[in-house]
Amino acid sequence: MSHVTKFAARDPGPAARMTGFVAHLRDNGLRLGVSETGVALEALTHINSANPSETRRALKTVFTGCAEEAAQFDGLFDSYWMNGGRVTTRVMPKAKPSLNENVHSSRDAKADADTSGGAGDISAPDGGEGAAQSDGEGKLVATDVSNLFKKDLRSIVRPEDIAEAEKVALRLGASLRDRRSRRRKAARKGDQIHFRKVMRQSLATGGEPIALPKRRRPDRTLRITAICDVSGSMTVYSQVFLAFLAGLMRADTRADAYLFHTRLVRITEALRDKDALRALSRLSLLADGYGGGSNIGGSLDRFSRTYGRRFVDNRTVVLILSDGYDTGSPEGISNALNRLKKRGCKIIWLNPLKGWDGYEPIANAMAQALPYLDLFRAANTLGDLASLEPELARL
Protein backbone atom coordinates (compact mmCIF):
# COMPACT_ATOMS: atom_id res chain seq x y z
CA MET A 1 0.00 0.00 0.00
CA SER A 2 2.67 2.46 0.99
CA HIS A 3 4.99 1.73 -1.93
CA VAL A 4 4.36 3.67 -5.05
CA THR A 5 4.95 1.69 -8.20
CA LYS A 6 8.37 2.27 -9.76
CA PHE A 7 7.98 2.54 -13.48
CA ALA A 8 10.77 1.61 -15.87
CA ALA A 9 13.18 4.39 -16.82
CA ARG A 10 12.27 4.14 -20.47
CA ASP A 11 8.64 4.76 -19.57
CA PRO A 12 7.48 7.68 -21.72
CA GLY A 13 5.69 9.72 -19.04
CA PRO A 14 2.51 10.34 -17.09
CA ALA A 15 0.21 10.28 -20.10
CA ALA A 16 1.35 6.79 -21.06
CA ARG A 17 1.01 5.62 -17.47
CA MET A 18 -2.49 6.96 -17.35
CA THR A 19 -3.28 5.13 -20.58
CA GLY A 20 -1.91 1.99 -18.99
CA PHE A 21 -4.09 2.55 -15.96
CA VAL A 22 -7.19 3.03 -18.09
CA ALA A 23 -6.34 -0.18 -19.94
CA HIS A 24 -5.95 -1.87 -16.56
CA LEU A 25 -9.40 -0.62 -15.52
CA ARG A 26 -10.95 -1.75 -18.79
CA ASP A 27 -9.43 -5.20 -18.33
CA ASN A 28 -11.23 -5.31 -15.03
CA GLY A 29 -14.60 -4.52 -16.50
CA LEU A 30 -14.98 -0.76 -16.20
CA ARG A 31 -16.44 0.72 -19.33
CA LEU A 32 -14.27 3.68 -20.21
CA GLY A 33 -13.81 5.57 -23.44
CA VAL A 34 -10.91 7.62 -24.74
CA SER A 35 -12.33 10.89 -23.46
CA GLU A 36 -12.13 9.78 -19.83
CA THR A 37 -8.35 9.52 -20.09
CA GLY A 38 -8.23 13.14 -21.19
CA VAL A 39 -10.56 14.23 -18.42
CA ALA A 40 -8.44 12.36 -15.87
CA LEU A 41 -5.23 14.04 -17.00
CA GLU A 42 -6.96 17.40 -16.91
CA ALA A 43 -8.31 16.65 -13.44
CA LEU A 44 -4.81 15.90 -12.19
CA THR A 45 -3.69 19.40 -13.14
CA HIS A 46 -6.25 20.83 -10.73
CA ILE A 47 -5.06 18.93 -7.69
CA ASN A 48 -1.82 18.09 -5.97
CA SER A 49 -1.19 14.93 -7.96
CA ALA A 50 1.93 14.06 -5.99
CA ASN A 51 -0.33 13.11 -3.10
CA PRO A 52 -1.56 9.56 -3.67
CA SER A 53 -4.76 9.89 -1.67
CA GLU A 54 -5.77 13.04 -3.55
CA THR A 55 -5.01 11.39 -6.86
CA ARG A 56 -6.99 8.35 -5.82
CA ARG A 57 -10.02 10.45 -5.00
CA ALA A 58 -9.80 12.47 -8.18
CA LEU A 59 -9.43 9.45 -10.43
CA LYS A 60 -12.22 7.67 -8.61
CA THR A 61 -14.55 10.55 -9.38
CA VAL A 62 -13.64 10.50 -13.04
CA PHE A 63 -13.42 6.80 -13.75
CA THR A 64 -16.28 5.28 -11.80
CA GLY A 65 -19.94 5.46 -12.74
CA CYS A 66 -21.85 3.41 -10.23
CA ALA A 67 -21.60 2.12 -6.68
CA GLU A 68 -20.12 -1.25 -7.66
CA GLU A 69 -17.38 0.36 -9.69
CA ALA A 70 -16.62 2.78 -6.89
CA ALA A 71 -16.23 -0.13 -4.49
CA GLN A 72 -13.96 -1.95 -6.91
CA PHE A 73 -11.84 1.07 -7.72
CA ASP A 74 -9.64 1.26 -4.62
CA GLY A 75 -8.29 -2.23 -5.17
CA LEU A 76 -7.59 -1.55 -8.81
CA PHE A 77 -5.86 1.71 -7.99
CA ASP A 78 -3.64 -0.01 -5.46
CA SER A 79 -2.72 -2.81 -7.79
CA TYR A 80 -1.60 -0.41 -10.50
CA TRP A 81 -0.07 2.54 -8.72
CA MET A 82 0.84 1.26 -5.27
CA ASN A 83 2.04 -2.28 -5.59
CA GLY A 84 5.71 -2.23 -6.40
CA GLY A 85 4.66 -2.91 -9.95
CA ARG A 86 5.02 -6.62 -10.33
CA VAL A 87 1.62 -7.71 -11.50
CA THR A 88 -0.26 -5.30 -13.68
CA THR A 89 2.00 -2.32 -14.25
CA ARG A 90 2.72 -3.04 -17.91
CA VAL A 91 1.86 0.04 -19.88
CA MET A 92 0.82 -2.11 -22.81
CA PRO A 93 -1.20 -4.91 -21.28
CA LYS A 94 -1.34 -8.00 -23.41
CA ALA A 95 -4.65 -9.33 -24.53
CA LYS A 96 -6.28 -11.47 -21.90
CA PRO A 97 -6.45 -15.11 -22.90
CA SER A 98 -10.02 -16.14 -23.33
CA LEU A 99 -11.39 -18.29 -20.56
CA ASN A 100 -12.21 -21.15 -22.81
CA GLU A 101 -11.34 -22.05 -26.35
CA ASN A 102 -15.00 -22.66 -27.00
CA VAL A 103 -15.86 -19.05 -26.45
CA HIS A 104 -14.66 -18.24 -29.93
CA SER A 105 -16.58 -21.06 -31.44
CA SER A 106 -15.76 -21.48 -35.07
CA ARG A 107 -16.83 -25.04 -35.41
CA ASP A 108 -19.62 -26.28 -37.55
CA ALA A 109 -22.83 -25.46 -35.76
CA LYS A 110 -24.67 -28.19 -37.59
CA ALA A 111 -22.20 -30.92 -36.68
CA ASP A 112 -22.34 -29.90 -33.09
CA ALA A 113 -26.07 -30.05 -33.01
CA ASP A 114 -25.97 -33.50 -34.53
CA THR A 115 -23.51 -34.90 -32.06
CA SER A 116 -25.39 -33.53 -29.11
CA GLY A 117 -27.38 -36.66 -28.65
CA GLY A 118 -28.94 -35.45 -25.44
CA ALA A 119 -31.02 -32.82 -27.16
CA GLY A 120 -34.54 -33.95 -27.55
CA ASP A 121 -37.50 -32.27 -29.11
CA ILE A 122 -38.03 -28.78 -27.86
CA SER A 123 -41.79 -28.98 -27.74
CA ALA A 124 -41.81 -31.55 -24.96
CA PRO A 125 -39.68 -32.15 -21.92
CA ASP A 126 -36.83 -34.52 -22.43
CA GLY A 127 -38.73 -37.61 -23.52
CA GLY A 128 -41.06 -39.81 -21.54
CA GLU A 129 -38.38 -41.36 -19.38
CA GLY A 130 -37.49 -38.03 -17.85
CA ALA A 131 -40.99 -37.44 -16.65
CA ALA A 132 -41.30 -41.03 -15.47
CA GLN A 133 -38.09 -40.70 -13.53
CA SER A 134 -39.32 -37.64 -11.80
CA ASP A 135 -42.37 -39.56 -10.81
CA GLY A 136 -40.28 -41.62 -8.40
CA GLU A 137 -39.84 -40.61 -4.81
CA GLY A 138 -36.23 -39.52 -4.54
CA LYS A 139 -36.13 -37.30 -7.56
CA LEU A 140 -38.21 -34.30 -6.60
CA VAL A 141 -36.66 -33.65 -3.25
CA ALA A 142 -34.55 -30.53 -3.44
CA THR A 143 -30.91 -31.05 -2.63
CA ASP A 144 -28.48 -28.50 -1.45
CA VAL A 145 -25.49 -30.23 -2.96
CA SER A 146 -23.99 -28.06 -5.63
CA ASN A 147 -23.28 -29.98 -8.75
CA LEU A 148 -19.70 -29.12 -9.23
CA PHE A 149 -18.94 -30.57 -12.60
CA LYS A 150 -19.73 -28.35 -15.51
CA LYS A 151 -22.46 -29.50 -17.78
CA ASP A 152 -22.33 -28.31 -21.33
CA LEU A 153 -25.59 -26.53 -22.00
CA ARG A 154 -25.08 -26.90 -25.71
CA SER A 155 -25.92 -30.54 -25.31
CA ILE A 156 -29.23 -29.48 -23.83
CA VAL A 157 -30.38 -26.70 -26.09
CA ARG A 158 -30.04 -26.76 -29.84
CA PRO A 159 -29.71 -23.58 -31.86
CA GLU A 160 -32.74 -24.46 -33.98
CA ASP A 161 -34.87 -24.55 -30.88
CA ILE A 162 -33.89 -21.01 -30.13
CA ALA A 163 -35.35 -19.83 -33.40
CA GLU A 164 -38.67 -21.37 -32.47
CA ALA A 165 -38.50 -20.05 -28.93
CA GLU A 166 -37.75 -16.64 -30.36
CA LYS A 167 -41.13 -16.63 -32.09
CA VAL A 168 -42.93 -17.53 -28.91
CA ALA A 169 -41.00 -14.94 -26.96
CA LEU A 170 -41.83 -12.28 -29.53
CA ARG A 171 -45.53 -13.03 -29.23
CA LEU A 172 -45.41 -13.00 -25.45
CA GLY A 173 -43.54 -9.74 -25.48
CA ALA A 174 -46.13 -8.23 -27.79
CA SER A 175 -48.96 -9.25 -25.50
CA LEU A 176 -47.37 -7.43 -22.59
CA ARG A 177 -47.34 -4.11 -24.34
CA ASP A 178 -50.09 -2.23 -22.62
CA ARG A 179 -49.19 0.07 -19.88
CA ARG A 180 -50.09 3.68 -20.09
CA SER A 181 -47.27 6.17 -20.16
CA ARG A 182 -47.67 9.30 -18.10
CA ARG A 183 -46.48 11.67 -20.75
CA ARG A 184 -48.83 12.82 -23.46
CA LYS A 185 -48.28 12.89 -27.17
CA ALA A 186 -50.29 14.38 -29.98
CA ALA A 187 -52.90 11.93 -31.19
CA ARG A 188 -56.01 11.98 -33.31
CA LYS A 189 -58.20 10.97 -30.41
CA GLY A 190 -57.09 12.02 -26.99
CA ASP A 191 -58.22 13.07 -23.58
CA GLN A 192 -56.54 16.47 -23.41
CA ILE A 193 -56.27 19.45 -25.69
CA HIS A 194 -52.86 19.91 -27.26
CA PHE A 195 -52.52 23.62 -26.58
CA ARG A 196 -49.34 24.14 -28.47
CA LYS A 197 -50.98 22.91 -31.66
CA VAL A 198 -54.12 24.91 -30.96
CA MET A 199 -52.11 28.11 -30.81
CA ARG A 200 -50.26 27.46 -34.02
CA GLN A 201 -53.40 26.55 -35.92
CA SER A 202 -55.52 29.36 -34.54
CA LEU A 203 -53.04 31.93 -35.82
CA ALA A 204 -54.39 31.36 -39.29
CA THR A 205 -57.93 32.11 -38.13
CA GLY A 206 -57.15 35.23 -36.17
CA GLY A 207 -57.04 33.67 -32.76
CA GLU A 208 -60.22 31.69 -33.14
CA PRO A 209 -59.38 28.13 -32.16
CA ILE A 210 -61.44 26.22 -34.69
CA ALA A 211 -59.76 22.85 -34.67
CA LEU A 212 -58.90 21.36 -31.30
CA PRO A 213 -56.00 18.94 -31.64
CA LYS A 214 -55.84 16.40 -28.85
CA ARG A 215 -53.16 14.54 -27.03
CA ARG A 216 -53.15 11.35 -25.05
CA ARG A 217 -50.98 8.92 -23.20
CA PRO A 218 -49.31 6.47 -25.53
CA ASP A 219 -48.90 2.84 -24.59
CA ARG A 220 -45.56 1.65 -23.40
CA THR A 221 -44.01 -1.78 -23.39
CA LEU A 222 -43.45 -3.69 -20.21
CA ARG A 223 -40.04 -5.18 -19.73
CA ILE A 224 -39.64 -8.85 -18.98
CA THR A 225 -37.17 -10.05 -16.39
CA ALA A 226 -36.93 -13.83 -16.40
CA ILE A 227 -35.44 -15.85 -13.57
CA CYS A 228 -34.92 -19.51 -14.42
CA ASP A 229 -34.32 -22.36 -11.99
CA VAL A 230 -31.76 -24.84 -13.33
CA SER A 231 -31.44 -27.03 -10.26
CA GLY A 232 -31.49 -30.81 -10.34
CA SER A 233 -35.24 -31.14 -9.97
CA MET A 234 -35.76 -28.89 -12.99
CA THR A 235 -33.33 -30.69 -15.32
CA VAL A 236 -35.98 -32.16 -17.58
CA TYR A 237 -37.64 -28.83 -18.17
CA SER A 238 -34.69 -26.52 -18.33
CA GLN A 239 -34.16 -27.37 -21.97
CA VAL A 240 -37.42 -25.69 -22.84
CA PHE A 241 -36.91 -22.79 -20.52
CA LEU A 242 -33.36 -22.03 -21.58
CA ALA A 243 -34.38 -22.03 -25.21
CA PHE A 244 -37.18 -19.70 -24.27
CA LEU A 245 -34.80 -17.38 -22.45
CA ALA A 246 -32.39 -17.38 -25.35
CA GLY A 247 -35.27 -16.59 -27.69
CA LEU A 248 -36.56 -13.89 -25.40
CA MET A 249 -33.19 -12.18 -25.25
CA ARG A 250 -32.93 -12.16 -29.00
CA ALA A 251 -36.48 -10.99 -29.58
CA ASP A 252 -36.63 -8.24 -26.98
CA THR A 253 -33.61 -6.03 -26.46
CA ARG A 254 -34.84 -4.78 -23.11
CA ALA A 255 -35.45 -8.16 -21.52
CA ASP A 256 -33.26 -9.39 -18.74
CA ALA A 257 -32.45 -12.97 -17.72
CA TYR A 258 -31.03 -14.77 -14.72
CA LEU A 259 -30.28 -18.36 -13.82
CA PHE A 260 -30.15 -19.81 -10.39
CA HIS A 261 -29.40 -23.09 -8.71
CA THR A 262 -27.58 -22.55 -5.46
CA ARG A 263 -26.38 -19.16 -6.68
CA LEU A 264 -27.85 -16.47 -8.88
CA VAL A 265 -26.15 -15.64 -12.18
CA ARG A 266 -27.03 -12.86 -14.59
CA ILE A 267 -27.01 -14.26 -18.11
CA THR A 268 -28.37 -11.32 -20.07
CA GLU A 269 -25.05 -10.33 -21.59
CA ALA A 270 -24.14 -13.89 -22.45
CA LEU A 271 -27.44 -14.58 -24.18
CA ARG A 272 -27.28 -11.37 -26.20
CA ASP A 273 -24.41 -12.79 -28.22
CA LYS A 274 -25.27 -12.64 -31.90
CA ASP A 275 -24.07 -16.17 -32.46
CA ALA A 276 -26.67 -18.40 -30.83
CA LEU A 277 -24.21 -21.22 -30.33
CA ARG A 278 -21.60 -19.01 -28.78
CA ALA A 279 -24.24 -17.56 -26.49
CA LEU A 280 -24.84 -21.03 -25.14
CA SER A 281 -21.15 -21.69 -24.66
CA ARG A 282 -20.86 -18.54 -22.66
CA LEU A 283 -23.87 -19.62 -20.68
CA SER A 284 -22.30 -22.95 -19.80
CA LEU A 285 -19.31 -21.12 -18.40
CA LEU A 286 -21.59 -19.04 -16.22
CA ALA A 287 -23.81 -21.85 -15.10
CA ASP A 288 -21.41 -24.19 -13.38
CA GLY A 289 -23.36 -26.00 -10.76
CA TYR A 290 -26.10 -26.63 -13.29
CA GLY A 291 -28.35 -29.45 -12.24
CA GLY A 292 -27.30 -29.21 -8.61
CA GLY A 293 -29.37 -28.26 -5.62
CA SER A 294 -31.68 -25.30 -5.45
CA ASN A 295 -31.82 -22.35 -3.15
CA ILE A 296 -34.82 -20.42 -4.40
CA GLY A 297 -35.25 -18.24 -1.34
CA GLY A 298 -31.61 -17.23 -1.22
CA SER A 299 -31.41 -16.56 -4.93
CA LEU A 300 -34.60 -14.52 -5.06
CA ASP A 301 -33.52 -12.65 -1.98
CA ARG A 302 -30.21 -11.82 -3.58
CA PHE A 303 -32.00 -10.78 -6.73
CA SER A 304 -34.35 -8.45 -4.90
CA ARG A 305 -31.49 -6.83 -3.04
CA THR A 306 -29.07 -6.36 -5.91
CA TYR A 307 -30.24 -6.51 -9.51
CA GLY A 308 -33.85 -6.01 -8.57
CA ARG A 309 -33.09 -2.59 -7.18
CA ARG A 310 -31.66 -1.50 -10.49
CA PHE A 311 -33.68 -3.33 -13.08
CA VAL A 312 -37.12 -3.86 -11.61
CA ASP A 313 -39.66 -1.06 -11.58
CA ASN A 314 -43.36 -0.67 -12.17
CA ARG A 315 -42.88 -1.38 -15.85
CA THR A 316 -41.38 -4.78 -15.27
CA VAL A 317 -42.84 -8.25 -15.35
CA VAL A 318 -40.81 -10.69 -13.31
CA LEU A 319 -41.15 -14.17 -14.74
CA ILE A 320 -40.03 -16.95 -12.42
CA LEU A 321 -39.56 -20.38 -13.95
CA SER A 322 -39.21 -22.86 -11.14
CA ASP A 323 -40.81 -25.91 -9.54
CA GLY A 324 -40.68 -24.43 -6.05
CA TYR A 325 -38.67 -27.25 -4.46
CA ASP A 326 -36.36 -25.42 -2.17
CA THR A 327 -33.78 -26.24 0.46
CA GLY A 328 -33.82 -22.81 2.06
CA SER A 329 -36.41 -21.46 4.43
CA PRO A 330 -39.82 -20.67 2.89
CA GLU A 331 -39.86 -17.25 4.57
CA GLY A 332 -36.89 -16.35 2.40
CA ILE A 333 -39.07 -16.65 -0.69
CA SER A 334 -42.01 -14.71 0.65
CA ASN A 335 -39.78 -11.94 1.96
CA ALA A 336 -37.96 -11.64 -1.34
CA LEU A 337 -41.20 -11.62 -3.33
CA ASN A 338 -42.67 -9.08 -0.97
CA ARG A 339 -39.69 -6.83 -1.50
CA LEU A 340 -39.95 -7.21 -5.26
CA LYS A 341 -43.68 -6.58 -5.18
CA LYS A 342 -43.08 -3.29 -3.40
CA ARG A 343 -41.19 -2.08 -6.43
CA GLY A 344 -44.47 -2.20 -8.30
CA CYS A 345 -43.73 -5.04 -10.69
CA LYS A 346 -45.94 -7.92 -11.78
CA ILE A 347 -44.78 -11.37 -10.75
CA ILE A 348 -45.58 -14.45 -12.79
CA TRP A 349 -44.56 -17.88 -11.63
CA LEU A 350 -44.52 -20.68 -14.17
CA ASN A 351 -44.31 -24.04 -12.50
CA PRO A 352 -43.85 -27.14 -14.66
CA LEU A 353 -45.36 -29.35 -11.98
CA LYS A 354 -48.63 -27.49 -11.98
CA GLY A 355 -49.55 -29.28 -15.17
CA TRP A 356 -49.76 -32.60 -13.32
CA ASP A 357 -53.12 -33.99 -12.35
CA GLY A 358 -54.00 -33.27 -8.77
CA TYR A 359 -51.04 -30.98 -8.20
CA GLU A 360 -51.41 -28.81 -5.12
CA PRO A 361 -48.89 -26.12 -4.35
CA ILE A 362 -48.14 -27.66 -1.00
CA ALA A 363 -44.39 -27.51 -1.32
CA ASN A 364 -43.75 -25.08 1.48
CA ALA A 365 -41.96 -22.60 -0.69
CA MET A 366 -44.71 -22.52 -3.27
CA ALA A 367 -47.43 -22.08 -0.65
CA GLN A 368 -45.55 -19.12 0.81
CA ALA A 369 -45.07 -17.51 -2.57
CA LEU A 370 -48.70 -17.73 -3.72
CA PRO A 371 -50.03 -14.51 -2.14
CA TYR A 372 -47.49 -12.42 -4.06
CA LEU A 373 -48.10 -13.83 -7.50
CA ASP A 374 -50.12 -12.10 -10.17
CA LEU A 375 -50.26 -15.24 -12.22
CA PHE A 376 -49.44 -18.84 -11.36
CA ARG A 377 -49.53 -21.19 -14.32
CA ALA A 378 -48.27 -24.44 -15.61
CA ALA A 379 -45.68 -24.44 -18.32
CA ASN A 380 -43.45 -27.24 -19.36
CA THR A 381 -43.38 -27.00 -23.10
CA LEU A 382 -42.97 -24.19 -25.56
CA GLY A 383 -46.58 -24.73 -26.53
CA ASP A 384 -47.64 -24.01 -22.96
CA LEU A 385 -45.59 -20.85 -22.94
CA ALA A 386 -47.18 -19.74 -26.18
CA SER A 387 -50.66 -20.33 -24.80
CA LEU A 388 -49.95 -17.92 -21.96
CA GLU A 389 -50.35 -15.05 -24.37
CA PRO A 390 -53.99 -14.13 -23.67
CA GLU A 391 -53.44 -14.32 -19.91
CA LEU A 392 -50.46 -12.03 -20.04
CA ALA A 393 -52.43 -9.55 -22.08
CA ARG A 394 -54.95 -9.37 -19.25
CA LEU A 395 -52.37 -8.48 -16.59
Partner 1 sequence: MTWTTLQTAMAEQGYIASGDLAMALHLSLTLGRPLLLEGAAGVGKTEVARVLASVHDTQLIRLQCYEGLDAAQSIYEWNYQRQLLAIRAASEDGETGKTVEARIFSDEFLLERPLLKAIRQDKAPVLLIDEIDRADEEFEAYLLEILSEFQVTIPEIGTITAKTRPIVILTANGTRDLSDALRRRCLYAHVPYPDLETELSILVSRYPDISDRLCAQIVGFVQSLRKQDLEKKPGIAEMLDFAGALMGLGVADLTGDPALLQAILTTLLKTQADKDAVPTEIAQRLAGKAA
Site for partner 1, rule CB under 8 A? 31, 33, 35-36, 39, 42-43, 46-48, 53-54, 57-58, 60-62, 64-67, 70, 181-184, 195-196, 198-199, 202-204, 206-207, 209, 309-311, 313
Residue placing its CB nearer to partner 1 in the complex, 142 or 255: 255
Residue placing its CB nearer to partner 1 in the complex, 60 or 377: 60
Residue placing its CB nearer to partner 1 in the complex, 63 or 237: 63
Q: How far apart, in whole angstroms, are the C-alpha atoms of residue 226 and residue 242?
A: 10
What is the number of H-type helices and E-type strands within the chain? 17, 11
Q: What are phi and psi of 65, to 5 degrees?
A: -135, -10
In angstroms, give the least distance from the CB of 9 to partner 1.
31
**Distance, first Cα to last Cα, the chain:** 56
In angstroms, give the least distance from the CB of 61 to partner 1.
4
In angstroms, give the least distance from the CB of 314 to partner 1.
8
In angstroms, give the least distance from the CB of 111 to partner 1.
38
Looking only at the bridges linking them, the beta strands covering 192-193 and 223-229 are: unpaired
Q: How far apart, in whole angstroms, are the C-alpha atoms of residue 242 and residue 259?
A: 9
Residue placing its CB nearer to partner 1 in the complex, 10 or 46: 46
Residue placing its CB nearer to partner 1 in the complex, 134 or 368: 368
Q: How far apart, in whole angstroms, are the C-alpha atoms of residue 265 and residue 256?
A: 12
In angstroms, give the least distance from the CB of 175 to partner 1.
22
The residues, ordered by sequence, that sit 6+ positions from 393 with a Cβ below 8 Å of its Cβ are 175, 176, 178
Residue placing its CB nearer to partner 1 in the complex, 220 or 263: 220
Q: How far apart, in whole angstroms, are the C-alpha atoms of residue 216 and residue 188?
A: 9
Q: How many CA atoms lie within 13 A of 219 on its CB side?
A: 8
Residue placing its CB nearer to partner 1 in the complex, 36 or 323: 36
The residues, ordered by sequence, that sit 6+ positions from 167 with a Cβ below 8 Å of its Cβ are 247, 251
Q: What are phi and psi of 270, to 5 degrees?
A: -60, -40
- Chain-centre distance of CA 340, in angstroms? 16
In angstroms, give the least distance from the CB of 213 to partner 1.
13
Q: What are phi and psi of 279, to 5 degrees?
A: -55, -40
In angstroms, give the least distance from the CB of 134 to partner 1.
37
